[in-house]
Amino acid sequence: MPSVGRVQATDEARRYGRRASLLSIGVGITGLITYLYFAIASHELSREQYGEVAVLWVSVFIVISILQRPVEQLLSRTISENLADGTPIAHTVRVAATIQVAVAIAFDVVALALRGPITDHLLHGNTTLYWIGVASVTAYGASYFARGFLAGSHRLTVYALQIICESVARTAFPVAVAIGIASGQTAVALGIVAAPTLSLIVVPLAFFRRFGTGEAATGNASQGPSADGRAEGSPGDASDEFSLARGGRFAGGVFLIMLSEQTIMNAGNLLVNATAGAAAAGYIFNVLMIARAPLQLFQAVQTSLLPHLTTLRSQRNEKDFRASVRVTIMAVAAFAGVVTLALLIAGPELMQIAFGKKHTYQRVDLVIVSIGMGVYLSAATLNQAALAKGQIRRASMCWVGCAIAFVVWVLVPIVSNDFHRVEIGYLGAAALLFSLLYWLYRQPLERSEVPVKPGSTEEMELQLASADEAG
């Protein structure tokens, strides 16, 4: 007869699976709505205005990935461990809030000090966009803090609602311009700062329920004491210190992967903006949307794929593990093939339908990026396999190497055309990443790299990293 603890663990695993499934759905919806934001904005704004909004978007998300994600990871991991150990979370929340406020103040001070260069060289003298950008980064600090709290509390349903509310709020602004309620670039750009602010409307209920029920103070009371009288996982436990150290390395690896992905996807936009102006940056942003839109949809697959692979790995089911990876890559290849064929036949026309007729799109540009998209998504699948095995450090080194290679390529004018240099660089970086991760996929698991456990904080953290990228 199964023990009470085992039954509770099974029930928790089922609840976790349902929450993760809802998060996957939320991520997919978020990606679609975010795509609509740019499609509508591109139709309603001039080439220069749209390009400046695209540059603002890229800049904001690079900054928040660097500044806000670490606090979110700290909060989600620590709250989850507190609740598992039966310790209060109030102190954790206060410490994380202090760090978040300090980060926000430091950013605002630096941004104000560099107001002139940022406005003149990045935003082409547009002061309004500068203030929207500064406010957006600050607002996302609160949003990511809430995400960390919700994730650590395992409230993934509310987390999914938050990111959906964020994307809906953002897209409402270009929609308002399209139907005549508002007008101009400022109205569209305000969606970037309104999104994280309005997304917080779903959070108070989660905070009230968590603190109001006393769950924060009790956590999981079933945790038993250790042999020396201390609760397992208490601050004085040596195994907890090891877990904390390993957790820091894990979070660092995830951060490097995210930063590298941001670099590969967005550095090209900033380069074109600096060398050819905002209109050209808007063009390359739209071309790379061929890669971004499927990537945003693939986040939902990633969010589901990671727990599946993690479970198979923990069961030592190598056959089904490799079969799942193989089937996913084949599906990605088939999807990329259909997209490439469609762009080869009617790519320029389809792009003008989606983004307006302000740009004339070159067929070769679209085909290069669509092929790169297929290779990149295949590499992302292999990355999920590496993470499920716990090969965080080696996977992050693969990403960092590819990001550095991409930056070097786009900065060295081997190819004179800026657009082709970014597009070929994206395809080359994707191919190099796939090759490195495939080599890693074929390697045996090192003893020092412990596999991620199903339902663990590490697995949840990886899922949330995927969800954040859908933004």
- pLDDT tens digits for range 67-113: 887 778 777 777 877 777 778 888 888 888 888 888 889 999 999 99
pLDDT at residue 152, as a whole number: 77
124 pLDDT band, cuts 50/70/90, is: confident
> What's the CA gap between 168 and 144, in Å, rounded?
17
For 342, the token pair is 């469609």
Rounded mean pLDDT, 151-172: 85
Distances (CA, A) of 305 to 15, 24, 323, 385: 17, 10, 12, 9
Backbone angles phi, psi at 225, to 5 degrees: -75, 160
pTM of the model: 0.75
Q: Which amino acid is at 408?
A: V
What are 325-363's pLDDT values in tens digits? Answer: 998 899 889 988 998 999 899 888 988 888 888 888 888
Helix, strand, or coil here: 225? strand
What tokens does 355 get? Answer: 């983004």
What whole-number percentage of the chain has pLDDT above 70?
Answer: 77
Instruction: Tell me phi and psi for residue 451, to 5 degrees.
Output: -60, 145
Between 151 and 222, whose confidence is greater?
151
Amino acid type, 307: P
Token representation of residue 419 = 């657009």
Is residue 432 over pLDDT 50?
Answer: yes
| Cα 464 from Cα 177, distance rounded (Å) | 32
**Tokens 């190819």 sit on residue:** 415
Distance between CA 357 and CA 406 in Å, rounded? 30
Q: What angle do CA 129, 130, 133 make, to 5 degrees?
A: 85
DSSP result, 50-75:
HHHHHHHHHHHHHHHHHHTHHHHHHH
Q: Where are the domains of the chain?
A: 17-211, 246-471
DSSP one-letter code for 183: -
